[in-house]
Amino acid sequence: MNPILFGSDLNHPRGSVSTGLNDHVPRHHDPPGHSRPGDPREGAPVYLSRRFPALSDAGLLLGRLVLGAVFIAHGWQKFHKYGHGNVTKMFDGMGIPLPSLAAFYATWVELAGGVALVVGVLVPLVGVLLFADMAGALWYAHADHGFFSEKGGYEYVLVLGVLSLLVAFAGPGRLSLDALLGGGLRREAVHGERRAVEV
């Protein structure tokens, strides 16, 4: 007889037979983050955020607060100190298309968007809008001045734009108005389903 047809494992000692029934059943359940010798996970970094998920939420909160405060400051500066007319003239001098509309967009997306980041509402949408704002600033105002911000370069707006996109992709975290409202809506939906079933 051909032993292969009956599931013999040629890597096992002679005479041993593998039924194939339990070959893929784990013999031992390791706790999360634990690795045994020879395990591919051995030596892999264990991030604190995996052990303490609240740290991710705290980091997202801190990032939103700082980023939001920066945008609020710049939006308020455009609105209160310069005014729409002066911002429009400045944008027109930079060659920005539709300077009046662009000035309105930059002022209010920075001011209102910064507030939205701080409280954590509509964060994915706001992050993308702020990224577009910074992309325009990089292209029209800073690209010709090199990298470093001290010489008028795009270093600063690049960081702000990428951080805005990061927050948009990562989400606001659980310490946000989005999470609070989302949790309330989910609980209301569950209660509604239960009432429907009971009826």
Q: Cα separation of 121 and 176, whole Å?
A: 7
pLDDT in tens, 129-184: 999 999 999 999 999 999 999 999 999 999 999 999 999 999 999 999 999 988 64
Given a contact cutoff of 8 angstroms between Cβ atoms, the answer to whether 8 and 16 are in contact is yes
User: Counting every residue, how long is the chain?
Assistant: 199
Supply φ then ψ for residue 122, to 5 degrees.
55, 35
pLDDT in tens, 41-90: 555 566 777 788 889 999 999 999 999 999 999 999 999 999 999 999 99
pLDDT value at position 16?
46
Q: Say if residue 4's pLDDT is above 60.
A: no
Structure token pair of residue 20: 């194939």
DSSP-derived secondary structure for the chain: --GGGGTB-TTSPTT-B--SSSTTS-S--PPTT---TT-TTTT----HHHH-THHHHHHHHHHHHHHHHHHHHHHHIIIIIIHHHHHHHHHHHTT-SSHHHHHHHHHHHHHHHHHHHHHT-SHHHHHHHHHHHHHHHIIIIIGGG-S-GGGT-SHHHHHHHHHHHHHHHH---SSSHHHHHHHHHHHHHHHHHHHHHH-
The single-letter DSSP state of residue 4 is G
pLDDT value at position 95?
94
pTM above 0.75?
no
pLDDT in tens, 17-35: 444 444 554 555 555 555 4
pLDDT value at position 144?
93
